[in-house]
Amino acid sequence: MTKYIFFDNDGVLVDTEKHFFKATQIVLNKNGMEFTREKFIELTLIGNEGGWRIARDRGIAEEKIEEMRIERNILYASMLEQEQLVIDGVAETLYLLAGKYKMAIVTSSKKHHFD
C-alpha cells in the first residue's frame, strides 16, 4: 500500500504565524483598529475569517482593506526574510520519513511567502 503524508507549511513546518499576526496587527493598529493575539486566534485560526473582519465590521471600504492587505503582505514578506523559520525537529523528521512515504507540502500561502 502506498502511503502519503501531506504537511501544512505554516505552523507545522515553519514558524510563520507569529509574523503573520504581527504584520496584520501593525497594519490594523496603524489604521485605528485594535488587533490582539486573542482576536487573531478567534478570527484567523478558529473562524477562518482573518483580521480584515474587524475593518469590515467598522464599515471600511473594500478598496481600503485591499490596500491594508497589500501593506501587510509586504511587511510579512520582509519579516519572513529576517530569521530561520524551520521548526525544531522538522528536518530530522522529514529525513526519517524520506523513502518510506510520499510527502507533499500544502499551504494557502502566497507563492512568494512560501518560497
What pLDDT is recorded for position 2? 67
Could you tell me which residues are beta bridge partners of residue 8?
Answer: 106
Dump the DSSP string for 64-83: HHHHHHHHHHHHHHHHHTSS
Nearest to 7 by CA among 91, 112, 113, 110: 91
- Inter-residue contact 14 to 35 (CB < 8 Å): no
1 pLDDT higher than 80? no
Core vs surface per residue 5-15: b (16+ CB within 10 A) or e: eeeebbeebbb
| 3-state SS assignment for residue 7 | strand
Which residue shows C-alpha cell 525537529? 89
- Inter-residue contact 13 to 90 (CB < 8 Å): yes
Nearest to 28 by CA among 48, 53, 59: 53
29 pLDDT higher than 70? yes
Residue 1 vs residue 46, higher pLDDT: 46
38 — pLDDT class (breaks 50, 70, 90): very high
